[in-house]
Amino acid sequence: MEDILHMLPDSLRAKLKRLPPHELERIEEIRLRVARPIEYVGGGASRFVSEKGEGTEQAGAALMFTKEEGIQLLSRLSHHSLYMMEEEMRRGYITIQGGHRVGISGKVVLEDGRVKLIRDVTSFNIRIARERKGAADKVLPLLVEGRQLKNTLIISPPQCGKTTLLRDLARQISEGTEEVFARKVSIVDERSEIAGCVGGIPQKDVGPRTDVLDACPKAEGMMMMIRSMSPDVLITDEIGRAEDGYALEEAIHAGITVIASVHGRSLKDIMRRPTLSRVLQTGVFQCYLVLSRKPRVGAIAGVYDEHFAECRR
């Protein structure tokens, strides 16, 4: 959290620091919109910061995010050079020291029908990346049979801990555990969320035998890693396009174990999507793991085998 507070303009930092320390530590997102209340999300609830330094659901009682604070924040995020951050601005988010990601929105500038950049930024979504070493302790044994990893698809709604889980799986597989021998791991991190790279260097511990391809489209990135880094295990986040499926199949047919994730609430949910259904029907995945927020973030809601039969709940 200190990384985030240090980056904020002084006036905005002072507003957030009115919250009690225990409340600050629970924050998962800080959502800032010019001329509107300062919002934070944590523990499954959304609140505003009140004048008294408390969380409130009443927007009228909340402190506001000013235009000047927005200008200062964008300047700090871009290290006072928007030109240097043009590519990240085009993607709609900036990854900062500590692996945290700041989503932005505002007025889009087009060039030849494609997004060139976002200017007049008026909204910021600061997603706080917290490392939870040990997050994969109960999951990894479910993905192993005879010390061999299974090709696995993790199904999870947003904010259920799938990225945290992927990160810790990468670390443990790279280091080696009682369940699995140490492996060479390649991460294709299109959104810079798993490893949280800044300047190409992972800000999160993804293990000693792990290589990261940052900010690269998943399908292209997977093929690049297969050709260049000879991984034993390939990890990527939020698959969904047809080309992602083809790249996953190429990796698996090359003898590489794949661990990927997808947004969804259940196995049936993703089977209804045409681009994903085709991949699932090929039988490339040997294990499906479904996550939930209940009774806690990252809880295992179900485990299924390659025939879609439930193994445990």
**Domain definitions of the chain by residue range:** 2-127, 140-312
Q: pLDDT for 105-154, tens place per residue? A: 999 989 888 888 888 999 999 999 888 999 999 999 999 998 899 999 99
Comparing C-alpha atoms, which of 89, 117, 83 is closest to residue 102?
89
Is the CATH code 1.10.10 the one for domain 2-127?
Answer: no
Rounded (5°) CA angle 312-242-94: 90
| pLDDT value at residue 184 | 98
CA distance 285 to 296: 26
Which residue's entry shows tokens 């293990």? 207
Q: How many beta carbons lie within 10 A of that of residue 227, not counting itself?
A: 9
Cα four-point dihedral sign 182, 188, 192, 198: positive
Phi, psi angles (nearest 5°) of residue 256: -95, 135
Half-sphere exposure of 254 (CA within 13 A, CB side): 19
Question: Which CATH homologous superfamily contains domain 140-312?
Answer: P-loop containing nucleotide triphosphate hydrolases (3.40.50.300)
Please list the ranges in the chain whose pLDDT falls under 70.
83-84, 312-313
**CA dihedral in degrees (71, 73, 76, 80; nearest 10)?**
-10
